[in-house]
Amino acid sequence: MQLFVFVLNRTEYLERLLERFCESGLNGATVLESTGMARILLSSDEDVPMFAGLRALLNPERRQSKTIFMVLKDEQVDTAKKIVDQVTGGLDAPDSGIMFALPLTMVEGLNKRK
């Protein structure tokens, strides 16, 4: 089992992304509001010169991201990654998001209810 984490900066993709996860049998996602470190530093009232270049890359209108957590079987991680790439167009562009998976040594509470 793995913990799949995706920080989605382009929140307009959230609903379609969750729909595609469900259609592919990837259920049980938890979605949290999140804010990146650079965005917090850039939003301060002080004008910090070393962050001036970052301001141009980041969308000043968007303050929040969505962080999606899913516990997946090892073989489901590639499916989740493909869905993220298809829905978002990939994560190569600046300020688009980040995804990663971590191996889990213990999981409880995934029993299906009868």
Q: Which residues contact 5 (CB under 8 A, 6 or more apart)?
A: 67, 68, 69, 99, 100, 101, 102
* SS3 category, 101: strand
pTM attached to this predicted model: 0.78
Q: What is the pLDDT of residue 90?
A: 93
Region 2-35+66-103: CATH code: 3.30.70.120
Over the chain (114 residues), the average pLDDT of each successive run of 10 is 95 95 95 77 58 52 82 96 95 88 93 59
The rounded radius of gyration (Å) of the Cα atoms in the chain is 16
Q: What is the pLDDT of residue 68?
A: 97
Which tokens go with 96?
């688009």
CA distance 11 to 87: 11
Q: What is the pLDDT of residue 34?
A: 86
Q: Kindly list the domain boundaries of the chain, sorted by start residue.
A: 2-35+66-103
User: Under a CB-based contact definition with an 8 Å cutoff, are residues 51 and 84 in contact?
Assistant: no
| 96 exposure class (CB count in 10 Å sphere: 0-12, 13-18, 19+) | middle
Q: What is the pLDDT of residue 49?
A: 57
Q: What is the pLDDT of residue 53?
A: 54
